């Protein structure tokens, strides 16, 4: 065989080997576009490394932000989202509705605090007797469930001895700053917004109370990263790579707070950067993959179901977890 033919064969073999390596073998072609949906709020910080391309990937990732869980459910159900950042309790309920999602890991662990107005004393849960407590959104969210359980444990009847009121967090902040709220159970950055101008103080850390009352670490699996089940089945290599990129982005944001804040400000212009920076001192972001975070998630969901069965009517089975 002529020398030129051999050279052509060698070149073709090398090119084939490169393509095989690049695409991970004989699997399907990589997706032309990968969509990650993420809630508007402090969780824009962990994805700042991806959105600003400080964390580099060859994969074509688009981040889309959702405003409420109904919007997230619609995107997942219509298969317009491949990955989603979701509150853990909401994700369990989405899974129970038959939408095939799998948890890749937890990344938000601390965010909830109880505030008291400036001159309102707090010496424990009994200080809430005869008072009004505002908390965000509606019945069944994490701070609400933990607060109600704590009151009951102290022999205090929620809604009877303590008036619990629900409102959007922005409205609670306005009422708190106007001196119309005794206590408020809120997530960050609304805690910082409410306290700005020396309007009040944090009297209880829900994460610390959770640890003390359960014997578990002083943190709550608040939110995490999920993948559409059929996407993971078809693209296991890309799924693993996205989880790695997400973990790297979370780490980058923790190590480059000012840069991450500047990136996040483009998505959250209504929250001043100094407020968000202060809020981050009371928020914990750390991506822990499903194999390691699963026990804490299972315990958390089991506890939420015991404390408020209507909020978590069905615990997810093993198919909810990617590992």
Summarised one tens digit per residue, pLDDT across range 41-89 is 999 999 999 999 999 888 999 999 999 999 999 999 999 999 999 999 9
CATH numeric code, 34-110+222-320:
3.40.190.10
Chain CA centroid to CA 140, Å: 17
pLDDT digits (tens, 9 = 90+) for 184-221: 999 999 999 999 988 899 999 999 999 999 999 999 99
Report, as an integer, the average pLDDT of 136-149.
Answer: 91
Q: How confident is the model at residue 137 (pLDDT cuts 50, 70, 90)?
A: confident
* Rounded CA separation 186/38 (Å): 20
Q: How confident is the model at residue 6 (pLDDT cuts 50, 70, 90)?
A: low
Q: What pLDDT is stored for residue 124 in this prediction?
A: 96
Q: What pLDDT is stored for residue 84 in this prediction?
A: 98
Q: How confident is the model at residue 5 (pLDDT cuts 50, 70, 90)?
A: low
Q: Model pTM?
A: 0.88
* Rounded CA separation 175/182 (Å): 10
Contacts of the segment 160-164: beta carbons below 8 A, 24+ positions apart? 161/128, 161/129, 161/130, 162/128, 162/129, 162/130, 162/131, 162/132, 162/133, 163/131, 163/132, 163/133, 164/132, 164/133, 164/135
Share of residues in the chain with pLDDT > 70 (%): 92
Share of residues in the chain with pLDDT > 90 (%): 81
Question: Quick check: 241 and 57 in contact, CB under 8 A?
Answer: yes
Class of domain 112-214: alpha beta
* Rounded CA separation 10/35 (Å): 38
CATH 3.40.190.10 range(s) for the chain read 34-110+222-320, 112-214
* Rounded CA separation 215/277 (Å): 30
> What does the block give as tokens for 179?
């001196």
Q: What pLDDT is stored for residue 58 in this prediction?
A: 87
* Rounded CA separation 235/199 (Å): 51
Report, as an integer, the average pLDDT of 284-305.
Answer: 97
Q: What pLDDT is stored for residue 21 in this prediction?
A: 46
pLDDT digits (tens, 9 = 90+) for 115-130: 999 989 999 999 999 9
∠ CA 35-76-96, nearest 5°, is 140
Q: C-alpha distances in angstroms, 191 versus 8, 125, 132, 224?
A: 67, 19, 17, 21
Q: Which of 1-5, 143-147, 233-237, 304-308 is predicted least confidently?
A: 1-5
Q: Which helix (H) or strand (E) holds 270?
A: none
* Rounded CA separation 109/254 (Å): 14
Closest CA to 107 of 242, 206, 237, 261: 242
Q: What pLDDT is stored for residue 86 in this prediction?
A: 97
């Amino acid at each position: 065989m002529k020398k030129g033919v051999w050279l052509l064969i060698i070149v073709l073999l090398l090119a084939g080997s490169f393509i095989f390596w690049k695409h991970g073998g004989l699997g399907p072609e990589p997706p032309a576009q990968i969509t990650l949906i993420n809630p508007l709020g402090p969780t824009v910080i962990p994805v700042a490394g991806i959105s600003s391309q400080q964390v580099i990937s060859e994969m074509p990732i688009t981040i889309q932000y959702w405003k409420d869980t109904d919007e997230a459910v619609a995107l997942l159900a219509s298969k317009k989202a491949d990955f989603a950042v979701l509150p853990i309790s909401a994700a369990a309920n989405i899974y129970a509705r038959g939408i095939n999602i799998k948890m890749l890991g937890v990344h938000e662990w601390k965010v909830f605090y109880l505030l008291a107005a400036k001159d309102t004393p707090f010496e424990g849960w009994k200080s809430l007797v005869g008072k009004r407590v505002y908390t965000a959104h509606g019945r069944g969210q994490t701070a609400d469930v933990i607060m109600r359980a704590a009151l009951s444990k102290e022999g205090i009847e929620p809604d009877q001895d303590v008036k619990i009121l629900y409102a959007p967090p922005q409205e609670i902040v306005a009422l708190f700053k106007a001196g119309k709220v005794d206590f408020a159970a809120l997530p960050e950055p609304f805690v910082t917004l409410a306290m700005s101008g020396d309007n009040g103080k944090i009297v209880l850390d829900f994460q610390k109370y959770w640890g003390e009352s359960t014997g578990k670490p002083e943190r709550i699996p608040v939110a995490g990263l999920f993948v559409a089940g059929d996407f993971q089945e078809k693209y296991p290599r890309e799924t693993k790579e996205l989880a790695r990129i997400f973990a790297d982005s979370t780490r980058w944001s923790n190590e480059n707070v000012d840069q991450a804040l500047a990136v996040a400000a483009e998505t959250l212009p209504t929250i001043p950067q100094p407020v968000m920076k202060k809020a981050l001192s009371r928020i914990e972001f750390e991506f822990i993959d499903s194999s390691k975070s699963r026990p804490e998630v299972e315990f958390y969901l089991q506890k939420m179901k015991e404390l408020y069965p209507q909020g978590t009517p069905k615990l997810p089975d093993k198919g909810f977890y990617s590992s």
